[in-house]
Amino acid sequence: MARALRVRVDHTRCVGNATCTTIAPGVFKLNDDRQSEAINSVGEPEEIILKAAENCPVSAIRVEDAATGERLF
């Protein structure tokens, strides 16, 4: 069983670059302001979610282990 993740996008940072929605479309979606929302934290495998977080150009994505709160990105 894959562990449960908590994925959040910091809207004070997100510039709507849409890299996360390209890399992990099952998790991230742009809202009406063209900023990213994490709509489904099980929409992609963990490694894809971490790849999206790493590729955010402004480090707006935070990923945690939902059970332990450990910061994964």
Partner 1 sequence: MATTIHDDLFAPDVIADPYGYFGRLRAEDPVHWNAKYEVWVLTRYDDIVWLIRHPELFSSEVFKRDPRPPYPPIPEADVEMYGFVREFFADFFIQHDRPSHTEMRMVTHSYFTPRAMEAWRPMVRAAIKDLLDDAEAKGQMDVMQDFATPLPVLVIARMLGLPEQDRRFIRELAQKLLFIGRGDLNRMRPLTDGIKGLADYLSPLIKERLAHPGDDLLSVLASGETRGAFSRDEVVANAVLLLLAGHETTINLICNGTLALIRHPEQWALLQASSGLAVSATEECLRYDPPVKSLQRIAAEDVELRGNVLRKLDRARWFIPSANRDPAKFPEPDRFDITRDPNPHVAFGSGIHHCLGATLARVEGQEAFSALVDRFPALHLTTEELEYQPSITFRSLKALPVTWN
Provide the binding-site residues for partner 1, judged by CB under 8 A.
Answer: 12, 15-19, 22, 33-34, 54-55, 57-59
Is there a contact between 73 and 50 (Cβ–Cβ < 8 Å)?
yes
- Asked whether position 38 contacts ligand SF4 by CB under 6 A, the answer is no
Between 38 and 60, name the residue whose CB sits nearer to partner 1. 60
CB of 17: closest distance to ligand SF4 in angstroms? 3
| 36-38 vs 61-65, strand pairing mode | unpaired
d(CA 65, CA 16): 25
In the block, residue with structure tokens 């992609």: 44
CB of 67: closest distance to ligand SF4 in angstroms? 24
